[in-house]
Amino acid sequence: MAKFTDTISIHVKAGKGGQGAISFYREKYIPKGGPDGGDGGRGGDLYLEASNSYYNLSHLFRDRVYQAESGRQGMGANKHGRDGHDLTIKLPPGTEVLDEDGELICDLTNDGQRFLIAQGGIGGKGNAFFKTSTHQAPRFAQPGMPGEEKHIVLNLKLIADVGLVGLPNAGKSTLLAKITNAKPKIADYPFTTLIPNLGVVQRADTTSYRIADIPGIIEGAHKGLGLGLSFLQHIERVRVMLFLVDVTGEDLIYTLHLLREELKTYNEELTSRPSAVLLTKTDLMDDETLQKIIDQFPGETIVPLSAHSGHNLELLMRTIDTLLG
Which of the listed residues 113, 133, 156 is the one where a domain comes to its end? 156
pLDDT of 88 reads 98
Which of 130, 156, 182 lies at the terminal end of a domain, its last residue? 156
Three-state DSSP class for 212? Answer: strand
- If asked whether residues 112 and 237 sit together in one domain, one would say no
The CATH code of the domain that includes 317 is: 3.40.50.300
Residues 181, 313 within the same domain = yes
Predicted pLDDT of residue 150: 96
Type and span of the H or E element at 211: strand 208-213
DSSP-based three-state secondary structure for 208: strand
At which of 98, 131, 156 does a domain end?
Answer: 156
87 with 208, same domain: the answer is: no
pLDDT in single tens digits along all 325 residues of the chain? 457 788 999 999 999 999 999 999 988 877 778 999 999 999 999 999 999 999 889 999 988 999 999 999 999 999 999 999 999 999 999 999 999 999 999 999 999 999 999 999 999 999 999 999 899 999 999 999 999 999 999 999 888 899 999 888 888 888 988 888 766 444 443 434 457 778 888 887 778 888 988 776 766 544 544 444 567 788 888 999 999 999 999 899 999 999 998 888 888 999 899 999 999 999 998 999 999 999 999 999 999 999 989 999 999 999 999 999 8
DSSP states of 51-98 as a string? Answer: -TT-SSSTTS-TTPEEEPPPPPPPBTTTBPPPPPPPEEEEE-TTEEEE
Q: Which of 74, 80, 94, 84 is nearest to 21 (CA)?
A: 74
d(Cα 284, Cα 43) in Å, to the nearest integer?
A: 66
For residues 137 and 240, membership in a common domain is answered with no
Burial (CB < 10 A; 0-12, 13-18, 19+), residue 78, is middle
Domain span holding position 118: 1-156
CATH of the domain at 5: 2.70.210.12
Q: Apex CA 292: angle with CA 286 and CA 296, to 5°?
A: 140
Q: Return d(Cα 287, Cα 242) in angstroms, integer.
A: 22
Cα four-point dihedral sign 150, 60, 67, 42: negative
Residues 182 and 319 in one domain: yes
pTM: 0.79
Question: Do 14 and 100 lie in a common domain?
Answer: yes
User: pLDDT at position 66, please?
Assistant: 97
Which pLDDT belongs to residue 184? 47
Specify whether 76 is located in the same domain as 108: yes
Domain count, the chain: 2
Same domain, 74 and 152: yes
- Regarding whether 176 and 309 lie in a shared domain, the answer is yes
